[in-house]
Structure 1
Amino acid sequence: MTETADAREADRALKAKHRTMWALGDYPAVATQVVAGLGPALVEACGVKDGDRVLDVAAGSGNASIPAALADADVVACDLTPELLAVGRKEAEARGAVLSWQEADAEALPFEDGTFDTVMSCVGVMFAPHHQTTADELVRVCRPGGTIGLLSWTPEGFIGQMFATMKPYAPPPPPGAQPPPLWGNEEHVRTLLGDRVTGVEARRRALRVDAFREPEDFREFFKAAYGPTIAVYRSIAGDPERTAALDGALADLAAGALRDGAMDWEYLLLTARRATA
């Protein structure tokens, strides 16, 4: 194999690994039972309206896509993991939302340049491994003057700290892969988008999560439902001491965040316009 062929093969293997990871557990339960408020918040911030052509990238089971469709936009929801799209289709049908679902890689979107009025992602594209490639694709498929909207967990917030807690127990990332919570850093995202956008507005907000009464409730739910957490535990399944240590670390993290049965999970909500020239 040439170096280029090797790189393509490595990328295919990495994407297959990501696809499998997000199919683990029950991410739709996370989306509907824990973080349901994020999608509507992003749709509102993007100003989605009747007739807008909207692309939701790394849409999962439709946390943002379905609210956008219910606002009478013309929505395409795309994701790397077909299992999540299948759940989204059923949820959309149950809620009377009409939209299109398409399997797609955020780093190689199968759409023409300037196709969409709004291109958005709700805690989705942050998990694509190559940040600049992903940002380039978001800008490319957005029409000049159109809106790009991104909602991402911050490094300092609870989910960012959860990833930091799991990192010592996880296999090392492949070369070139960047940490997901960097998308929650305003300067990082501004650098990715560069002068191809204007009117950037970035706000740090917090999602109130009251789904877990005890620290162990959070830990056990995420061990059972959240793909990245499941994958880390699988990687240390043969080491009871490390498994117990991670159990304790995640419970401690949640204990430090719980106040009267609720937690505040910080995220960055960033919107911008694609430059017209």
Structure 2
Amino acid sequence: MTKPALDEFVVQFWGVRGSVPSPGFETIRYGGNTSCIEIRAAGKRIIFDAGTGLRNLGKELEGQTNLELHMCFTHYHWDHIQGLPFFDPLFQSGNSLHVYGQVPEEVRPMTLEEHFYHRVLHKDSPIPLANLETNIFFHELTCGETFKIGDAEIATAPLNHPNGAMGYRVSWQDRAIVYCTDTEHYPDHLDENILNLAKDSDILVYDAMYTDEEYHDPKSPKVGWGHSTWQEGLKLTKAANIRKLAVFHHEPNHTDDILDSIAKDLAEKSEESFLAKEKAIASVFD
């Protein structure tokens, strides 16, 4: 993998599965790793979440030196941090990692740095974390604030998820990619936080773990579990004038065949929208 081009603005998917890794013959085409995406904008490499997909990104970066990486966390549930101890660039001297995120209310007054070392990089990790070599810098965020990484502007907004989560909008050259995973829609209205964050964006990466039928299944309802559906994502996409919906955070029990069926239904309603697949790349300029 080469360094990001200065005129590049893309999202690449490294882990697209929700809740728990789901490897196997039935998940090969879409992938079984948990949440991790990379947005390359204005020559910067910005990573969102550190699920098990992060390990493969680290393998792609193998051999590169003096890396400057930026990692933003939506929240710290297991499926969003499991890959961190297996991220090879952390163990190479000369690299730098900038960590961005909010501190959960339940652990305050911990700083982001304390939270990262004591709760994200867990003491029970199978990797000897004392061997970390990269330089790590911490940027504690307050949900709702805007900041910059190089020439890219990053806006944030709260999401509807147990223990809280934060959505991100990356804007550059009048284009935007929005990442809103681990959020549950409301029964009687569209989420104003997401509508405002994603308005007129090019790509919305959205938590669509379930179908509407699964979400409301009377035998096993998913109401209150903190996740949404692709149909609700499509409503947001149309209401906020978003060009493409990227269906993300796939249910671990959804096989490739099930996801193919969802992709077919989605394409009938929105030609440019798609289901996220591991290693796939989507550009704002396509």
User: Fold match, TM over 0.5?
Assistant: no
Q: Report which of the two has the higher share of helix.
A: 1
Q: Report which of the two has the higher share of strand.
A: 2
TM-score normalised per structure 1? 0.40
TM-score normalised per structure 2? 0.39
Q: Which has the higher contact order (CA 8 A, sep 6+)?
A: 1
